């Protein structure tokens, strides 16, 4: 019985193709290949599609799942290991997702006689709060280094990148703004003896203490692996190293006119940290090209799969972005939340915004609530260590 369609002859003959040969097999690529070839449509496809309601990794409010499996307001888990370095006065290793940061603090002595006397500019506007020793004498010196191999973009033998310099400046600014380190903890005093001889029974009025030197903290931050949101991880590493910091017991020797430090590990003091400022970064992804012209979905039409019209102003705010999401977002917001130990009131220390104009006042209120959850996460990780070291 003849077949309805002719099969091709295997021995070099000819024949009409079958109906099944007219339908070519569709090509399929792994998700990693799709992300490299067309990153923006790849991210947009994840943000526009809603995951099943029983998915545990989605945001409870929107049901949207990002390519990394997290919801819009979900941040990566954080782990902190203190005293990770033995040759520093304080150290911490932070792992946030695939980002790994190591911070070490070395303390050096700055003598008062070596501090230059700077004449204040009368034309400069006076601040409401007086300058601290850290601000006037630059007693805290942070430095951020992106090590070779942390990302493919950082090659060996290159000068400090713009990202490293920016994070260094932001950390130094945040340390000064929060006044996290008390001046009293960095001062080295000397108690002069009374000039007149007095008997043991008489009351002794000692002269006031004199500041002979200060502790200068050199904070070095090294990224071993970087997968986005570098500032949040760097700031957590710096704060963890400050919690772990132990300064030697230093005294002024008037005979030698030098500062002598005790070698005993027990004769050390910790910083009196009463705050736990936490930073959280958000990025904004829009369905428009970076040039502001054609939408991403122009080739697919103005209607999505559900038949709803897509708007040019559609945007998604991503919490704790990874490296893939940061490259596709042009607007970022970093909110720093601070709280004083023993109180219940939260305080917004700083709001940093770069690029774009999507996020407004209404969005900021929602982002502050998410930042409060971030503070609870940080305090849950470091709160126990702070109580042990207080």
Residue from 186, 359, 370 nearest 278 by CA: 370
> Would you state the structure tokens that stand for residue 82, as one six-digit string?
């203190």
Distance CA 363, CA 356 (A): 14
Cβ neighbours of 200 (radius 10 Å): 5
Distance CA 26, CA 388 (A): 61
Can you give the pLDDT at residue 310? Answer: 41
By the 8 A CB rule, do 386 and 361 touch?
no
Distance CA 89, CA 105 (A): 6
Distance CA 213, CA 226 (A): 38
Can you give the pLDDT at residue 226? Answer: 93
Distance CA 95, CA 193 (A): 51
Give CA angle at 173 (317, 355), nearest 5°: 30
Distance CA 104, CA 89 (A): 8
Give the largest Cα separation in the chain, rounded.
Answer: 131
DSSP 160: P
Point out the residues of the chain with pLDDT beneath 70. Answer: 1-27, 50-63, 116-128, 196-204, 288-313, 340-344, 384, 386-390
Structure-token match 């609530």, residue found: 369
Pairing of strands 268-270, 246-248: antiparallel
By the 8 A CB rule, do 168 and 142 touch?
yes
Written as one string, the DSSP assignment of 84-132 is: --SSSSEEEEEEETTEEEEEEEEEEEEEGGGS--PPPPTTSPPPSSPPP
Contacting residues for 67 by C-beta, under 8 A, at least 6 apart: 31, 35, 42, 43, 46, 324, 325
Can you give the pLDDT at residue 245? Answer: 93
Distance CA 97, CA 284 (A): 20
Can you give the pLDDT at residue 294? Answer: 34
Pairing of strands 140-146, 210-225: parallel
Contacting residues for 278 by C-beta, under 8 A, at least 6 apart: 236, 336, 337, 338, 371, 374, 375, 377, 378, 379
User: In this structure, what are the phi and psi dihedrals at residue 332, rounded to the nearest 5 degrees?
Assistant: -140, 150
- H or E element in which residue 188 lies: strand 187-190
């Amino acid at each position: 019985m003849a077949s309805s369609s002719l099969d091709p002859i295997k021995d070099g003959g000819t024949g009409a193709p079958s109906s099944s040969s007219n339908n070519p097999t569709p090509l399929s690529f792994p998700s990693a290949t799709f992300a490299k070839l067309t990153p923006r449509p790849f991210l947009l496809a994840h943000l526009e599609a809603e995951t099943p309601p029983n998915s545990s990794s989605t945001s409870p409010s929107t049901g949207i799942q990002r390519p990394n499996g997290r919801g819009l307001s979900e941040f990566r888990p954080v782990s902190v290991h203190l005293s990770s370095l033995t040759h520093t006065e304080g150290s911490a290793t932070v792992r946030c997702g695939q980002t790994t940061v190591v911070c070490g603090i070395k303390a050096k002595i700055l003598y008062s006689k070596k501090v230059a006397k700077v004449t204040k500019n009368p034309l400069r506007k006076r601040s409401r709060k007086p300058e601290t020793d850290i601000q006037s004498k630059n007693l805290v010196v942070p430095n951020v280094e992106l090590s070779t191999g942390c990302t493919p973009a950082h090659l060996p033998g290159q000068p400090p990148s713009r990202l490293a310099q920016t994070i260094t400046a932001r950390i130094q600014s945040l340390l000064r703004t929060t006044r996290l380190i008390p001046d009293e903890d960095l001062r080295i005093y000397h108690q002069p003896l009374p000039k007149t001889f007095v008997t043991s029974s008489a009351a002794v009025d000692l002269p006031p203490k004199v500041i002979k030197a200060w502790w200068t903290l050199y904070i070095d931050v090294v990224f071993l692996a970087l997968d986005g949101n570098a500032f949040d991880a760097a700031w957590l590493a710096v704060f963890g190293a400050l919690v772990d910091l132990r300064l030697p017991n230093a005294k002024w020797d008037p005979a030698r006119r030098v500062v002598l430090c005790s070698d005993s590990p027990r004769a050390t003091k910790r910083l009196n940290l009463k705050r736990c400022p936490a930073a959280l970064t958000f990025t904004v992804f829009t369905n428009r090209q970076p040039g502001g012209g054609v939408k991403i979905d122009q080739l697919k039409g103005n209607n999505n799969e559900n038949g709803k019209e897509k708007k040019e102003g559609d945007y998604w705010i991503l919490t704790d972005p990874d490296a893939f999401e940061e490259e596709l977002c042009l607007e970022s917001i970093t909110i720093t939340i601070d709280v004083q130990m023993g109180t219940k009131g939260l305080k917004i220390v700083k709001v940093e915004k770069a690029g774009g104009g999507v996020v407004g006042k209404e969005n900021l209120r929602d982002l502050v609530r998410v930042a409060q959850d971030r503070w609870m996460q940080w305090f849950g990780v470091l709160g126990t260590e702070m109580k042990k070291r207080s």
